[in-house]
Amino acid sequence: MKKHIPNLLTLGNLFCGTLATIFAVHGDFINAALFVVLGILFDFFDGFAARLLNVTGELGKQLDSLADMVTSGVVPGIIMMNLIRGNFMHWDIQIEPWIANLILNDYLIISYLGLLLTLGACYRLAKFNIDTRQSDSFIGLPTPAMCLFVISLPLIQEYSNINLAHQLIANNYFLVAITLLLTYLMNAEIPLFSLKFKDYAVKKNEIKYVFLILSLLMIIFLQYISIPLIIILYVILSLISNYGKKAKV
C-alpha cells in the first residue's frame, strides 16, 4: 500500500492544477494562484514521501511530470495569455468602434505568445525525464519556479501598492519579454542549485543558506512582489556559484 502514497500525492497535484486551470481560463487569477501553490506543495511532498518510504520508481517519475505539466505548465501559460489580452482590452482607442474592434482583434493574437510558457515547460519536463544530470541540481529553471513567477504578477496587481510594478505588468512589451526570457531559462544549459540538503553543514550549503535567508527577508518586507525577485535571486546566485566553481577549477 505504501508504494501508492507518493502517487496519490502526485494526483493531488494534478487535481489542484486542473482546478487552477479552470480558474485561470475564467480570469480568476487569485484562486488559480491558490490552487497552484497547493499543487506545488503536493509536488514537494510526493517526492519527500517517495524518498522517505523508499518507493521511487519510473511510474512515479512519469506521473510527476504529467501533473507538473498541468499545474506548472498549462496554468502559467493561460495566465500570461490573459494578462496580455487584458492589457489590450483596457486600451483607450478614440476612433470608430468597429475600427477599434478590428484593430483590437488583430492585436489580441499577440496574447497567444503567453502560451510559449506552456510549450517551454513541456519541452523542459520531457528533457528532465531523460537527463541523468539533474538528480542533485537542475539544468535550466524548474517549471514550478517559472510558474510562481507568473502567478505572482496578478497578485502584485491586486495587492501591491508599488506603482512601478503596476506599470510594468500593464506593459505588454514587458510581459512578452518576460515570457521569452522564462521560456529560454527553462531550457537553457545553465546549472542551478537545488534546495535538497544531504547534510546541514554551513560550508557545504553556503549558497543555499544565503538564498533562504534573503528570500525570507524579502517575503517579510516586500510580500507578493518578493516572489519574482526571489526567482531572479535564485538564478543570480546560481550563476555566481557556477562562476566560483569554474574559478576554483
Cell 478590428 locates to 102
167 compared with 101, residue with greater pLDDT: 167
Split at pLDDT 50, 70, 90, the class of 104 is low
pLDDT value of residue 245: 74
Q: What is the CATH number of domain 2-248?
A: 1.20.120
Supply the pLDDT for residue 105: 66
What grid cell was written down for 186?
527553462
Indicate the pLDDT class of residue 42, thresholds 50, 70 and 90: very high
In the chain, domain spans: 2-248
From the number of C-beta atoms within 10 Å of its C-beta (0-12, 13-18, 19+), residue 232 rates as exposed
The pTM score is: 0.91
At residue 131 the predicted structure's pLDDT band, cuts being 50, 70 and 90, is confident
Nearest Cα residue to 48 out of 6, 78, 109: 6
- The neighbour count for residue 92, using CB atoms within 10 Å, is 5
pLDDT digits (tens, 9 = 90+) for 19-39: 999 999 999 999 999 999 999
Look at the alpha carbons of 183, 186, 192, 198 in this order and tell me if their dihedral is positive or negative.
positive
Q: How confident is the model at residue 17 (pLDDT cuts 50, 70, 90)?
A: very high
Return d(Cα 235, Cα 242) in angstroms, integer: 10
Quickly state the pLDDT bin for 106 (edges 50, 70, 90).
low
